[in-house]
Chain A
Amino acid sequence: MIALETVAPVIEWQSLSPVLIVLGGACLGVIWEGVLPRRLRNPFQIVTLLAAIIGALTMLTLNFLHASLATDAATSVDPKVGLLAVGTLCSDGPSMAAWFALLVFGGLALLIFGDRQLNQGASAFASAAATTPGSDEEQLADTIGREHTEVYALGLFSLAGMMVFVAANDLITMFIALEVMSLPLYLLAAIARRKRLLSQEAALKYFLLGAFASAFFLFGAALIYGYSGSFQWAGIDSAISGGSTSGVAVVTFGDGILITGVALLAVGLLFKMGAVPFQSWVPDVYTGSPTPVTGWMAVGVKIAAILGMMRVFYVALGGIRWTWQPVIAVVAVLTMVVGVIMALAQTNIKRLLAYSAVSHAGFILTAVVGTQFYVGAGQLNAIGSVMFYLIGYGFATIAGFAIIMMVRRGSAEAWDLDDWAGIGVKNPVVGVLFAIVLLSFAGIPLTAGFIGKWAVFTSAWTGGYWWLAVVGIAFSLVAAYLYLKVLIKMFFAPPAEGVRVAKASPFVWIPVIISTIATLILGLLPGPVMQWLSTLEIFIR
């Protein structure tokens, strides 16, 4: 008889604490919903949200500083680089940088959920999502002032999913994180206060297509597991570069299962980042979702999906780089072309920004394809440049969607582009802030968008994909025309009747101001952030 010995797993509590704090805050939010009277829930939820974000950021900073100090103390191993929780998560430069970015963006974007002023004392979410739109129950729920305060907890759950996703070290952790990040967003998409039918439709589309894409991801993961016999990146990599020929699955099926698996896995990841040909959900879901949720998912999901994809494709699948690079290059071109051309045709500001998000995924993919790893000290390689781009894109996107919340016709948000005519004259402050957002999206110098585009195109060019960088620059110019068109309409067209900039609470203003200032600072003084990212741009294996 074999004696069963169970070895207790070693869990690095301190290194994991940022994720655990966010998850703890989310669970606390669920508890508040169960035990507190209605009037107390909202303040408790907001305090919990802020405490979780600040706590997680503090612990992350401590870990980061501690790690750096320990390196200085002549230890040969950098302790911030290592596997956590029995090899399921990677703690390395990119995951630390991504955690910082996700926590900051999460804090800013989820704070916007707290606004009560733009909807005359109500939140941006349905008073009771279970009621049928237009029914007496809905009216009653509106009248007595019911509201859903679970939204903060759902936001924190999705944030935790994203944090695990970018740091995942095996396929199953990645799949679980994908679902933990997506499921709360499906629900958040469904519960807009206004235009509820649109919101429910968006959630239905997001859910069905998202579940479809997850199934692709999972089947691909199973095939890769079959080929390599391992879920972990290192195991997959050694099976690929060792030319795994002995495994029973490989003997039966050959290399075909690896290629098929990679293709299916890529479908799941490209869907989440909204790359063509898997972009069809993006405009509908971005438009139909409550605008604060759109801002959060546009930033968070994109950061998670792109960095997660880079980790899989660089660390686990780097050995067959020559096979996937041309395919992703074609996807990048299609994404830029379709994103920019479709954005030109839009008359709805939310759809316009949605297609613009698609095109940004294409610009970022150029650097992903470039796979430029080795650069001089203090310069950005593919991973660093993508992170810089995502940080700049994140700030601009949060500010952009928050400003869309403020511009209103009657009491509803004015999405029609014609309604935005003359907004810059009616309210110069909001006009200038939105102009900064648009200029950053367009990649005009002195904004974060310019430095980000410069970094990713340089990375693609030096990585050997110079033609992709050229296509990227060409379509950035076309895209610049698009944003300038909106800008000119905002400042020089005759003002639209009946549209105003509504008074917003600090819950909206603080994120908008911080984000636009950060956009400018990253454009004017990118040095320190670039320097910082250049120390954090190596994936561990």
Chain B
Amino acid sequence: MNPTLLAVVTLAAVLFCIGLVGVLIRRNALIIFMCVELMLNAANLLFVAFAWAHGGLDGQVAAFFVMVVAAAEVVVGLSIIVAVYRARRTTSVDVPDALRL
């Protein structure tokens, strides 16, 4: 039993759930995207916490990889959101609804 690890992992789980709920209930594409980033950061916290618990470095290295990937994702994601915004003057995910059953 390791109380510090328990605390950090609980924090990571809470952050992940905040991001998860945010993605599900918010309707603004930018906020949804920020919530996804929050989920990625929760995973980063977990990597670092477990790397500390296991006494290895690979978890910390993983966190760096995730940061780079998240940055690349921002580039692609914002470009798509901006393109949609310019065409429709909104970032709401409910307005683009041409593709339906």
Contact = CB atoms under 8 A, between A and B. Distances in A.
A176 B65 contact: yes
Given A204-B29, A226-B53, A190 B1 contact: no
Contacts of A171: 62
A211 B83 contact: no
Contacts of B101: 345
B81 to A, nearest CB: 7
Given A175-B66, A198-B99, A211 B36 contact: yes
A148 to B, nearest CB: 13
Contact of B84 (A179, A200, A252, A345): A200
Contacts of B46: 219, 222-223, 226
Nearest to A226: B50
B78 to A, nearest CB: 10
A187 interface: yes
Contacts of A253: 6, 9
Contacts of A201: 84, 96-99
Nearest to B74: A211
Interface stretch (A125-133, A434-442, A446-454): A125-133
A173 to B, nearest CB: 9
A215 interface: yes
B52 to A, nearest CB: 9
B40 A248 contact: no
Given A229-B56, A231-B58, A130 B77 contact: no
Contact of B76 (A183, A197, A215): A183
B76 A176 contact: no
A172 B65 contact: yes
The secondary-structure label for the interface of chain B is: helix
B53 A197 contact: no
A19 B101 CA distance: 39
Contacts of A129: 83
Nearest to B52: A248
Contacts of B65: 172, 175-176
Contact of A215 (B5, B40, B72, B98): B40
A221 interface: yes
Interface string A139-159: 000000000000000000000
Interface residues of B, number: 49
Contacts of A247: 53-54
Contacts of A132: 86-87
Interface string A241-277: 0000001110111000000000000000000000000
A216 B47 CA distance: 14
B83 A287 contact: no
Contacts of B88: 197
A222 B49 CA distance: 10
B14 interface: no
Interface in B28-73: 29, 32-33, 36, 39-40, 42-43, 46-47, 49-50, 53-54, 56, 58-59, 61-62, 65-66, 69, 72-73
The secondary-structure label for the interface of chain A is: helix
B1 A175 contact: no
Contact of B50 (A179, A249, A287): A249
A288 interface: yes
Contact of B36 (A186, A208, A221, A223): A208
A219 to B, nearest CB: 5
Contacts of B43: 215, 218-219, 221-222
Interface string A387-405: 0000000000000000000
A284 interface: yes
A300 B13 CA distance: 33
A248 B2 contact: yes
Nearest to B15: A219
A248 B5 contact: yes
Given A197-B98, A248-B54, A251-B2, A179 B73 contact: yes
Contacts of A200: 80, 83-84, 87, 96
Contact of B87 (A183, A196, A211, A229): A196
B99 A202 contact: yes
- A-B pairs with the 3 shortest C-beta distances? A215-B39, A222-B46, A201-B96
9 contacts: A187-B79, A197-B87, A200-B87, A223-B46, A226-B54, A247-B54, A249-B50, A252-B6, A252-B9
Interface of B: 1-2, 5-6, 9, 12, 16, 19, 23, 29, 32-33, 36, 39-40, 42-43, 46-47, 49-50, 53-54, 56, 58-59, 61-62, 65-66, 69, 72-73, 76-77, 79-81, 83-84, 86-88, 93, 96-99, 101
